[in-house]
Amino acid sequence: MIASLLVAAAVSIVPTPIADTNVQQVKDTTPQIAEAMLSCMVKRDGGLTACSVQSEYPAQMGVGQAALSMASQFQVDLMGPDGKSRAGSFIDVPVRIRIR
């Protein structure tokens, strides 16, 4: 009888891992920012054309290509800060994309 109590005590002392079904994975919801710098020619109507990617961050993520695909929808003010028309000139266009 004493031997059976020792075995029972030894078995009850050994901790067993218990799966906690209440633990949830926490997803990082902090948005990341991706950036691209385009160089584009300003059309007479304020639209952009002949755009090219000058830089992108993070590299190899496709941000530059995404910015290029949106550039035809951009409209800029024809008058530059110097009061002269931008039509026909190239401008730098920064594009920031928030990724969730």
pLDDT tens digits, 40-60: 999 999 999 999 999 999 988
Extract the tokens encoding 71.
Answer: 């550039």
- Tell me if 20 sits within 8 A of 28, measured CB to CB: no
Return averaged pLDDT per consecutive 10 residues of the chain, 100 residues in all: 40 53 64 91 96 93 93 93 93 91
- Tell me if 47 sits within 8 A of 72, measured CB to CB: yes
| pTM reported for the whole predicted model | 0.65
Query: Domains in the chain, ordered, with CATH?
Result: 30-99 (3.30.1150.10)
Q: Which residues of 65-96 are buried (b: 16+ CB within 10 A; e: fewer)?
A: ebbbeebeebeeeeeeeeeeebeeeeeebebe
